[in-house]
Amino acid sequence: MRRLVSRIEEELKEQEICAIYDSELERLFPKTISPEKRKQRIKKFADEHQLAVTFYDVGLCAIFEPRTGEARERDLVLPLALAKRGGGARKRDRN
């Protein structure tokens, strides 16, 4: 856990936020626990280190930033563009 804290602290010295992707989070917060419990543990981790955390499409990444004033924790789900089916645009019937 200390390694993750050190990484976040170092990145926050150089920039305003630190993105930690799921593959890294999984080492300390395994996917074998329920998604809600996992999210709670990550929030607890952030609280213990005076950080705010934002989840981007839970399972994708968590954004850590210094906590300022009121807690800014929130969940954001980013829509993914759907691939078009059929390989191309439909032809219009011009009758």
pLDDT tens digits, one per residue of 12-30 = 999 999 999 999 999 999 9
Worst-scoring range by mean pLDDT, 4-18, 57-71, 74-88?
74-88
Q: Whose structure tokens read 């920039």?
A: 15
User: Would you call 13 helix, strand, or coil by DSSP?
Assistant: helix
With beta carbons less than 8 A apart as the criterion, state whether 35 and 79 touch: no
With beta carbons less than 8 A apart as the criterion, state whether 52 and 62 touch: no
What band does 68 get if pLDDT is binned at 50, 70 and 90? confident
Higher-confidence position of 40 and 67 = 40
Residue 14's CB is within 10 A of a number of other CB atoms, namely: 7
What band does 91 get if pLDDT is binned at 50, 70 and 90? very low
* CA 37 – CA 44 distance, rounded (Å): 10
Task: Say which CATH class 2-71 falls into.
Answer: mainly alpha
Specify the amino acid at residue 23: S
What band does 90 get if pLDDT is binned at 50, 70 and 90? very low
* CA 46 – CA 35 distance, rounded (Å): 17
Mean pLDDT value across residues 55-74? 74
* CA 5 – CA 22 distance, rounded (Å): 15
Q: Strand pairing of 51-56 and 74-76?
A: parallel
